[in-house]
Amino acid sequence: MAKPSIFQRYRTLILGAAILAVLAVVGAGLFSAATEKPYECTTIWEPAPTASPREGASPQPGYVQPDMGPGHVTTGTTIKYTYCPPASGKHYNGAGVGPIQARVYGPDDTVMPNGWVHNLEHGGLVILYKGAQVDEAALRAMYDAIPPSPVCGFEPGGQSPGPVLARFDDMAWPFGALVWGRVLPLQTLDQPAILEFYQTFAERTNPEELCPGARESASPSASAAPSGAPAPSAAPSVAPSTAPSAGPSGSAGPAASPSTAPS
């Protein structure tokens, strides 16, 4: 009678080890897919310094960010943003994925620009904070302080695309407020500065209007001010790459132009 081979003698053990190895590889792949960010950043954006405002100029809080365009992509697509935090760019389009619900998101919630950039496209305000150590009560107070939207008159939440308050670590400052095409860098959760920014630009810069025609009848804002006439907040009315000058009140202050060329 022939002597059993090593495989025959240890077949159960070998098959069990092989199954465990396959499960480990599959599990690692699933974990990687679950934890991998569905977006990439070419540049952590820092606006160039801006010129000192002239006396009597209209308010121009925040900085214009170079336009990355709109555009819907399939949910799950990895999006490459030239600038982060992105104030424009491609985004998801679908129930629950973009625009996302207007509310306060905690530091452990999974919230990505792939979704909230769509809120910006509809005229919403997005307020970002960096890191897990954040005063959630202060975030809630900030949310509760947001008045009806300045053009359409939407109450926060409900049919309004904003405000969204969410964690976003790929930025150069502790806080930032965004509307479509414009960013207000902040060292603190500066409620007055954010409210001024919101009242000045929300629903006036976005490409997709939720109340068409209302902009023309809305009260004049700083968005209609002459180009190059920033207010005491000292934010530019032209793209940072072309406007050398001083940072806005409550903002991160003067910053160097992005060193990485847009791709």
- Alpha-carbon span 37 to 168, nearest angstrom: 12
- For residue 84, the cross-strand partners are 44
Cα-to-chain-centroid distance, residue 217: 29
In a domain, 219, yes or no: yes
In a domain, 20, yes or no: no
**pLDDT tens, residue order, the chain (263 aa):** 556 665 555 566 656 655 655 454 444 343 434 458 999 999 999 998 776 667 777 768 899 999 999 999 999 999 999 999 999 999 999 888 999 999 999 999 999 999 999 999 999 999 999 999 999 999 999 999 999 999 999 999 877 899 999 999 999 999 999 999 999 999 999 999 999 999 999 999 998 888 887 877 665 443 433 333 333 333 333 333 333 333 444 444 433 333 333 33
In a domain, 213, yes or no: yes
User: If 0-12 CB within 10 Å is exposed, 13-18 middle and 19+ buried, where does residue 144 land?
Assistant: exposed
In a domain, 13, yes or no: no
In a domain, 255, yes or no: no
Q: What domain range is 234 assigned to?
A: 38-242
Number of domains the chain is built from: 1
Q: What is the pLDDT of residue 202?
A: 94
| 194: Cβ contacts below 8 Å, ≥ 6 apart | 125, 127, 142, 177, 184, 186
- Alpha-carbon span 259 to 44, nearest angstrom: 9
